[in-house]
Amino acid sequence: MHSIARPLALVLALALPAVALGTASAQNTDVIAQRQQLMKNNGKAAKAANALIKGETPFDAAAALQVFQVMNDDGKKFATLFPEDSKTGGKTEASPAIWEKPAEFKAANDKFIADTQAGIDAKPADVDAFKAAFTKVAANCQSCHQQFRAKD
């Protein structure tokens, strides 16, 4: 009994990764998960920013800078994560407009990178300065989502 069951288990174990790879090539769920993780990071950083602005967290210049740095890094990686095979799957909310209007999508992403870079360069030293820079950055979230994130 055991001598038959063991080789069979081995064959199954070897077959499974092949199946998983097969799905990944049709729908690139890896890249979808990566870009969703970057956006989750943006969401966390935005929450931290709001807490600083509302005074729920005492103002801290390093924490303020960190918000812009995380978003700037995310923005630079984000634009590279939209290959043709990632239009569907993985519960993606990416709108078809990303692939239909690539120049506009790139422009929206570049603006996000530029505005977060401006926040880094401004080195905000108090809440008012941080709020001014962050308000410009936050406008990108809504504007890009309206054009390029499909509502589910």
Tell me the closest approach of the beta carbon of residue 46 to ligand HEC, in angstroms: 4
Gap between the Cα atoms of 149 and 33, Å rounded: 15
Q: Does 118 bind ligand HEC (CB under 6 A)?
A: no
- The residue from 24, 46, 48, 63 that contacts ligand HEC (CB under 6 A) is 46
Considering only CA atoms, which of 67, 78, 57 is closest in space to residue 116? 67
Considering only CA atoms, which of 119, 144, 107 is closest in space to residue 64? 119
Residues recorded for the chain: 152
Gap between the Cα atoms of 6 and 75, Å rounded: 48
- The residue from 64, 72, 109, 124 that contacts ligand HEC (CB under 6 A) is 109
Tokens 């993985």, residue located: 90
Q: Does 28 bind ligand HEC (CB under 6 A)?
A: no
Q: Does 72 bind ligand HEC (CB under 6 A)?
A: no
Q: Which is nearer to ligand HEC, 11 or 150 (CB)?
A: 150
Q: By rule CB under 6 A, what count of residues binds ligand HEC?
A: 21
Token pair for 132? 């001014």
Positions touching ligand HEC (CB under 6 A) are 32, 35-36, 39-40, 42-43, 46, 71, 92-94, 108-109, 112, 140-141, 144-145, 148-149
